[in-house]
Amino acid sequence: MPPIIRTEGLRKVYRVGHEKVVALDNVNIAIEPGEMCCIVGTSGSGKSTLLNQLAGLEKPTRGQVYIGKHEISAMSESELAKFRQAHLGFIFQSYNLLPSLTAAENVAMPLMFKGVGQKQRMEMARQELAKMGLAKRAGHKPTEMSGGQQQRVGIARAFVARPRVIFADEPTGNLDTATTKQVLYQMLQMAKEAGITFVMVTHEPRLAGCADRVITIQDGRVLSDVLEPPQIVEKNRRELFAGLYDGPEGQSKQKEDEST
């Protein structure tokens, strides 16, 4: 199968005063449809820069980024905005929920851009929240929810319109260990179920164990790009998600969230 995401000679230079910061240098990667891909590396290595390039949030200094057959690095800002709304989803470390909207209204946002009517999009949003164990939180505002709950709302929002690719930059960075596992597990399950390609930045190598592909960035270059054997990924997932994970055929043990 042709890759869903591909870069060619990708380079990104930031100018800070008279200084030049080479954040990415000659990055050539390819991610296959349906893959769970982790981008790892130390702080400042260029992970977020790479994710922003892949997601069309920033323009490269040199080189190309393709999503499917579309060269997103050649699109105008307005073309990019439309492309992102139609095909891409995002999950942020700081959740980025709109504080004045309820959980369901936040989740329904991407559907509005797709022209889904008010009644149907609220229904779809509630269904997506229920999958995340948040059916009873649909009417809550972000400030009335814990960090883990807010991030699950963020996940529901990213998935609700079934984009081709979802990008996440340190999505569990603000969460404790138990919540991290739960949130990661849910993202993975949802992506696998819907066949969505999932690209996640993390600085925690432990979390990358559940990925099909692990791309390690160092000083803006690809240090390694490893496609893990499926049996190893399966074993790592079992260990990481012990108690949550029943294997590929199993059902999620996630229950309705009763915690506050």
Residues near ligand ADP, by CB under 6 A:
14, 16, 21, 23, 41, 43-49
41 binds, among Mg ion, ligand ADP, none (CB under 5 to 8 A by kind): ligand ADP
Q: Compute the least distance from the CB of residue 201 to ligand ADP, in Å.
A: 6
Residues 35-64 within binding reach of Mg ion (CB under 5 A): 48
Q: How far is the CB of 222 from ligand ADP (least distance, A)?
A: 13
Minimum CB–partner distance for residue 203 and Mg ion (Å): 8
The DSSP string of the chain is ---SEEEEEEEEEEEETTEEEEEEEEE--EE-TT-EEEEE-STTSSHHHHHHHHTTSS--SEEEEEETTEEGGGS-HHHHHHHHHHHEEEE-TT----TTS-HHHHHHHHHHHTT--HHHHHHHHHHHHHHTT-GGGTT--GGGS-HHHHHHHHHHHHHTT--SEEEEESTTTTS-HHHHHHHHHHHHHHHHHHT-EEEEE-S-HHHHTT-SEEEEEETTEEEEEEE--HHHHHHHHHHHTTTT---TTSPP--------
Assess 182 for contact with Mg ion (CB under 5 A).
Answer: no
231 binds, among Mg ion, ligand ADP, none (CB under 5 to 8 A by kind): none
User: What is the size of the binding site for Mg ion (CB under 5 A)?
Assistant: 1
The entry of Mg ion, ligand ADP, none near residue 21 (CB within 5 to 8 angstroms by kind) is ligand ADP
Which residues form the interface with Mg ion (CB under 5 A)? 48
